[in-house]
Amino acid sequence: MTDDEVLHAYTARAAEYESLLGSVKDMGELDRRRIERWAGGLGGPGLTGPVLDAGCGPGHWTHFLQGQGLDISGVDLVPEFIRSARARFPEVRFRVASLRALDLPDGHHAGVLAWYSLIHFAPTQLPPVLTEFRRILQPQGRLLVGFFEGESGEPFDHAVTTAYYWSVDEMSAMLRDAGFEVLDVETRHDPRRRPHAAIAAIARSEKTK
């Protein structure tokens, strides 16, 4: 999907989305624990620098991770989300940006969270976004990706607009191609929910050739 299509779809339902999913208390406990564990790994030896919540929506995970002691900022394509995030969490930095071009310096960040923010990128669009994440991460920087597990590249009718499933194997392969090493994988199949997957990865010292 194009940025304009995603922007239009989320703009039309931004208030509804925030009402239903705009707080960490609205999120699953297992998701909270997963993200919290990942954040704890960002304090390792030799790993310093800011963290980016890429596709932060109304900013709830950004605010949560700031509470974990991270120097974090959030970016999102949807201005309505950013306005709301700034109003609710004025102590956190937020700005409008596309994940395709983050306008951040090379090798500057210690971590990137992409929690269900990649689901609307079509198969040909996703690899360049992962490469952009690698570009802004320092060597050994950490990435956490959350997504819907299924047949790779298969579209489905998401509540807001078309989204895509990815298999763990295919997502892992794309991450390796973008310059990452996969650290761990988590999958979960809850009743009445689409299958969930999360992959934590580390930026290799050598960049993609």
Q: Which residue type is seen at 43?
A: G
Tokens (6 digits) for 160:
């807001």
Tokens (6 digits) for 10:
């989320």
Q: What is the mean pLDDT of residues 183-200?
A: 91
101-149 tens-digit pLDDT: 999 999 999 999 999 999 999 999 999 999 999 999 999 999 999 999 9
Q: Are 73 and 62 in contact (CB under 8 A)?
A: yes
Q: What is the mean pLDDT of residues 37-58?
A: 88
What's domain 3-203's superfamily in CATH?
Vaccinia Virus protein VP39 (3.40.50.150)
Place of tokens 């709830």: 60
pLDDT level of residue 160 (50, 70, 90 thresholds): confident
Structure pTM?
Answer: 0.91
Query: Between the CA of residue 133 and those of 144, 156, 177, what are the distances in Å?
Result: 11, 25, 12
| 3-state secondary structure string across the chain | CCHHHHHHHHHHCHHHHHHHHCCHHHCCHHHHHHHHHHHHHHHCCCCCCCEEEECCCCCHHHHHHHCCCCCEEEEECCHHHHHHHHHHCCCCEEEECECCECCCCCCCEEEEEEECCCCCCCCCCHHHHHHHHHHHEEEEEEEEEEEEECCCCCEECCCCCCEECECHHHHHHHHHHHCEEEEEEEEECCCCCCCEEEEEEEECCCCCC
The CA distance from 173 to 182, in Å, is 9
Q: What is the mean pLDDT of residues 196-204?
A: 96
86-100 tens-digit pLDDT: 999 999 999 999 999
Q: Are 188 and 177 in contact (CB under 8 A)?
A: no
Domain boundaries, the chain: 3-203
Tokens (6 digits) for 25:
């208390």
